[in-house]
Copies of this chain bind each other. A is one copy, B any other.
């Protein structure tokens, strides 16, 4: 068997992080319901603290540290939402966050981490440089690695989003959830398994970064090689902890093209008047693709985040 957060791990995570995160709203849209002939419930993690579900896992992992660990600070490498979320969690817990970022990271991402008081260590924009720099930072500072997804505390934290969803909307037939490294998807899978066992789960992935699709179909981890997609939060490969959970509990993984993702993102902005980032549009694109039969079903969609670059929109 494989390791996984238990039912009570997820319930404890929810209680632990509750003062520091938003219980995000669940929205409906007449437009999308008509278009799909389904009843769709959007779990709006774009309204989450620091703009994405990543605040859940980062808070849970940081709050789970022993006092002597916490004192040493937390560390990760990320140029995305996990970096901001971890910097914020560290600030709330009164400790330091060391964030290794590639030196070509967008300025807006760097500023966001700085805004939360994170200490940024720049490195060459390669995975090797990121990992070796992170290793050096951890050795130098004694800080604790908080991996963006391959960590049971992170998975339990991300699981709380879907737990909230199924507490609000009962008897969902299907949930659509984006997949990058698999922290959100594996957590969502466990929340459905424990709290809504009849609900099926579809992982949603960009065609240009379809390692989870290929891993799921082949039965073993196929790493992401030269991924290329507008959904910049979904470039990473599945981890040794997330993959077995996904293999065991996810019903299917479906891919969509960047053009489908961009169209779905535009529709959400235009019709629902909410800002979502490209990665959030991936499950919406799957719902609109016709690849899964939704007719007459109750569907949950996890909108994972809202940190879009407003000055560079993909439809312009």
A310 in contact with B270 given A25-B25, A316-B316 (CB within 8 Å): yes
Cβ-defined contact, B306 with A310, below 8 A: no
How would residues 1 to 33 of chain A score, 1 for a CB under 8 Å from any chain B CB and 0 otherwise?
000000000000000000000000100000000
Rounded to whole angstroms, the CA-CA distance of A266 and B273 in the bound complex is: 14
Residues on A close to B: CB < 8 A? 25, 46-47, 51, 266, 269-270, 272-276, 306, 310-311, 313, 315-316
7 chain-A/chain-B pairs, Cβ below 8 angstroms:
A25-B25, A47-B272, A273-B274, A273-B275, A273-B306, A275-B275, A313-B313
Q: A273-B275, A316-B316 are in contact. List 9 more A-B contacts (CB 8 A).
A: A47-B272, A269-B310, A270-B310, A273-B276, A274-B274, A274-B275, A275-B275, A310-B313, A311-B316
Rounded to whole angstroms, the CA-CA distance of A316 and B313 in the bound complex is: 10
Smallest beta-carbon distance A233→chain B, Å: 15
A310 contacts across to B, CB distance below 8 A: 266, 269-270, 313, 315
A46 contacts across to B, CB distance below 8 A: 273
A273 in contact with B47 given A311-B316, A313-B313 (CB within 8 Å): yes
